[in-house]
Amino acid sequence: MRLKPQRGGKAGMVQDERRAAAGWQGRLDGLGICASALCLLHCLVLPLLLAALPALAARLGPHDSLHWLVLAIALPTGAIALGGGWRRHRAAAPLILGVIGLASLAAGVALPMRELFETGLTVAGSLLLAGAHLANWRRRAGPLAWRRRCDLAC
């Protein structure tokens, strides 16, 4: 069994705190990716399911409160994960993509428009937000860590 060398002092504690914060923010990015994928499924599959099963459509109906709830979860999760990632790696692209994605999601929920435009705007926002979280996750882990994960998966 190999023991890890002990780090002492303030530098070791700061490094441990940064590592713990990076793990927590990485989990938020993972949650953001999963939530964006579920949003995409909801926007694309549910209308097809409701068209195929009219009895189900009569019972479910349009529920705007679900969209507001998802937006209320996406906004702080995206802001914390993408903002924390920017503070760590200083890459502006994931942050800009995330802001555009969150703005598209908010516009799709808040602005009165036809359902087709709302769905298109929400799907585009969801894809942009998922891409931003993925880019943030990759940059946070570093190029070598990401390459190792890909080698293990393939």
Residue 63 three-state SS: coil
pLDDT bracket for residue 20 (50, 70, 90): low
- Does 154 score more than 80 pLDDT? no
Asked if pLDDT for residue 55 goes beyond 80, the answer is: no
The number of beta carbons lying within 10 Å of the beta carbon of residue 57 is 15
Q: List own/partner pairs for 114-119 with CB under 8 A and 24 or more apart.
A: 119/43, 119/44, 119/47
The pLDDT of residue 101 is above 60: yes
